[in-house]
């Protein structure tokens, strides 16, 4: 039994008419979300039947199917993985889960049907008794399909009455740019509402006015007609944006403060994620690490250099990413951070907006503060070399490093 045999069985069930239908349905045309995907023309019941007939397929066969250019072959490989997962012991389940995430990272779980049939089992079910950090890592990826895996995986947890991660991820992904994510978030919220309608209503009271309409309609489907009308009639307002937790160790000596993460940073849940922002190039040059390192390793390098990161603003409303558009700002609890990091010597504000916000909210701030040129591409008056020189002059003496 091998992938070629299974592919032959799928081809035997294929038709040209169904191929054309599936290509349109899963948006495989140029510029569409499934662009370039190839279809044999096999419907889901037939794919399930082929997977059932080859239930003893090896993991190597599953991997070969997942590497296929044919959509239905990848779907069959996922059915095989899910079926085997339900019979596997703990060690084998962990291996299947890891292979699935690797396939997703490689772009092989690359349409909504592939995600939806596999993620609740191969991620959600696996995580029932485990930490859930991987869901938030997936939610922060640049891949639409890994983002969808994050939220759809929680459906298995919801069915067990575990709603916390679903609501947290829904809030994080609520303003994702793609309509497919609006549908997925709304779907998961609706399922949460089946278990706890009051908790869904509490979520909607905070977010309904700013939610994408598609997500809202999905979320309220099971409410009666009058209640649906009330939620849909809520006036739209800009969403409440929330900054990230601080990146800091107790031995930090320098605190770098931004104003509020921009749109790309909020989408990726990463400090200074916009590629044209010069922060990581400057930090790498000053503190001795490669700015192209994975995000987690960049954060670790800053901590090792006794550098902490945070933002002055904790929550606000804003159109776009410009600091000048910030409204309804509420500050982060900077005094609590200072208490956690008693060795801090200096606070460096990344740009004038951060400095102004710090002075506004904390006029009696107890540490020395230096205002540095913004690393944002919107602050284009100074070239990169000048910004790097000014940052180095201000910060290197504090930490005893050399650029």
Digit-coded pLDDT (tens) for 289-347: 999 999 999 999 999 999 999 999 998 877 766 666 778 889 999 999 999 999 999 99
- Rounded Cα distance between 254 and 305, Å, is 9
Grouping H, G, I as helix, E, B as strand and the rest as coil, residue 70 is strand
Q: Which long-range contacts (CB under 8 A, 24 or more apart) does 145-150 make?
A: 145/104, 145/107, 145/109, 145/110, 145/111, 145/114, 145/115, 146/104, 146/105, 147/173, 147/176, 147/181, 148/112, 148/115, 148/116, 148/119, 148/180, 148/181, 148/184, 149/104, 149/109, 149/115, 149/119, 149/123
pLDDT at 402: 39
Provide the token pair at 226: 């009058």
Asked if 183 and 214 touch (Cβ cutoff 8 Å), the reply is yes
- Rounded Cα distance between 268 and 199, Å, is 26
Q: Among candidates 182, 185, 193, which has minimal Cα distance to 227?
A: 193
Asked if 170 and 188 touch (Cβ cutoff 8 Å), the reply is yes
Using CA atoms, how far residue 39 sits from 31, 194, 294, in Å, is 17, 36, 35
pLDDT at 235: 72
Enter the DSSP assignment of 19. Answer: H
Sequence-separated (6 or more) residues with CB below 8 Å from residue 241: 260, 261, 266, 315, 316, 317, 318
In CATH, the architecture of 241-399 is 3-Layer(aba) Sandwich (3.40)
Domains 3-232 and 241-399 share a fold: no
Q: Nearest 5 degrees, angle CA 312-CA 317-CA 322?
A: 70
Sequence-separated (6 or more) residues with CB below 8 Å from residue 268: 140, 141, 142
Provide the token pair at 157: 């947890």
CATH says 3-232 is which class?
A: mainly alpha
Each domain of the chain, given as residue ranges in start order, spans: 3-232, 241-399
Sign, CA torsion 110/115/121/126? positive
Asked if 257 and 316 touch (Cβ cutoff 8 Å), the reply is no
Alpha helices in 272-328 (DSSP H): 279-287, 295-304
Would you tell me how many other CB atoms lie within 10 Å of the CB of residue 347? 25
Provide the token pair at 155: 């459906």
pTM: predicted TM-score of the whole model, two decimal places: 0.63
pLDDT at 400: 65
**Can you tell me which residue has the tokens 């939620």?**
231
Name the β-bridge partners of 348: 256, 370
**Can you tell me which residue has the tokens 């909504």?**
112
Asked if 168 and 150 touch (Cβ cutoff 8 Å), the reply is no
Q: What is the DSSP secondary-structure string of 209-227?
A: TTS-HHHHHHHTTTS-HHH
**Can you tell me which residue has the tokens 């190839």?**
38
Q: What is the DSSP secondary-structure string of 172-202?
A: HHTT-SSHHHHHHHHHHHHHHHHH-HHHHHH
Q: What are the per-10-residue average pLDDT scores of the chain (403 residues)?
A: 91 96 93 92 97 94 96 98 96 98 96 98 98 94 94 98 97 90 97 97 90 94 96 76 91 94 88 93 95 94 95 84 75 93 95 92 94 86 91 82 43
- Active-site option among 111, 277, 332, 350: 277
What strand order describes the sheet that includes 313-317? Answer: 241-242, 313-317, 327-331
Burial class of residue 371 (count of CB atoms within 10 Å of its CB; 0-12, 13-18, 19+) = middle
Is residue 277 part of the annotated active site? The answer reads: yes
Provide the token pair at 65: 């199917």
Q: Among candidates 97, 53, 44, which has minimal Cα distance to 74?
A: 44
**Can you tell me which residue has the tokens 């904390």?**
362
pLDDT at 272: 94
Sequence-separated (6 or more) residues with CB below 8 Å from residue 277: 262, 375, 376, 377
């Amino acid at each position: 039994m091998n992938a070629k045999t299974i592919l032959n069985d799928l081809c035997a069930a294929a038709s040209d008419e169904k191929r054309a239908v599936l290509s349109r349905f899963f948006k495989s045309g140029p510029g569409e979300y499934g662009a370039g995907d190839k279809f044999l023309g096999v419907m889901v019941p037939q794919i399930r039947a082929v997977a059932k007939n080859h239930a003893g397929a090896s993991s190597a066969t599953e991997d070969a199917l997942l590497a296929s250019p044919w959509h239905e072959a990848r779907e069959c490989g996922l059915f095989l993985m899910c079926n085997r997962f339900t019979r596997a012991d703990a060690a084998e389940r962990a291996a299947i889960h890891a292979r699935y995430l690797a396939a997703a990272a490689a772009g092989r779980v690359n349409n909504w049907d592939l995600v939806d049939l596999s993620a609740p089992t191969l991620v959600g079910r696996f995580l029932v008794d485990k930490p859930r950090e991987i869901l938030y890592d997936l939610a922060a990826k640049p891949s639409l399909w890994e983002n969808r895996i994050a939220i759809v995986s929680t459906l298995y947890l919801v069915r067990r009455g575990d709603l916390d991660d679903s609501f947290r991820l829904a809030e994080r992904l609520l303003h994702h740019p793609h309509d497919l994510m609006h549908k997925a978030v709304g779907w998961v919220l609706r399922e949460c509402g089946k278990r706890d309608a009051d908790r869904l209503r509490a979520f909607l009271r905070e977010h309904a006015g700013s939610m994408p309409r598609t997500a809202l309609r999905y979320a309220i489907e099971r409410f009666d007609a009058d209640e649906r009308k009330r939620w849909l009639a809520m006036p739209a307002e800009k969403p409440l944006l929330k900054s990230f937790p601080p990146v800091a160790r107790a031995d930090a000596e320098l605190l770098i403060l931004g104003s509020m993460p921009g749109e790309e940073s909020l989408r990726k849940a990463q400090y200074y994620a916009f590629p044209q922002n010069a922060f990581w190039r400057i930090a790498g040059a000053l503190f001795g690490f490669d700015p192209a390192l994975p995000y987690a390793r960049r954060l670790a390098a800053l901590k090792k250099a006794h550098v902490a990161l945070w933002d002055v603003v904790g929550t606000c409303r804003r159109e776009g990413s410009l600091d000048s558009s910030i409204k309804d700002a509420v500050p982060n609890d900077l005094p609590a951070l200072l208490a956690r990091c008693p060795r801090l010597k200096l606070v460096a504000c990344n740009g004038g907006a951060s400095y102004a916000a710090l002075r506004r909210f904390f006029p009696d701030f107890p540490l020395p503060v230096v205002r540095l040129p913004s690393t944002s591409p919107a602050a284009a008056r100074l070239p990169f070399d000048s910004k790097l020189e000014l940052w180095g002059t201000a910060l290197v003496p504090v930490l005893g490093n050399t650029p």
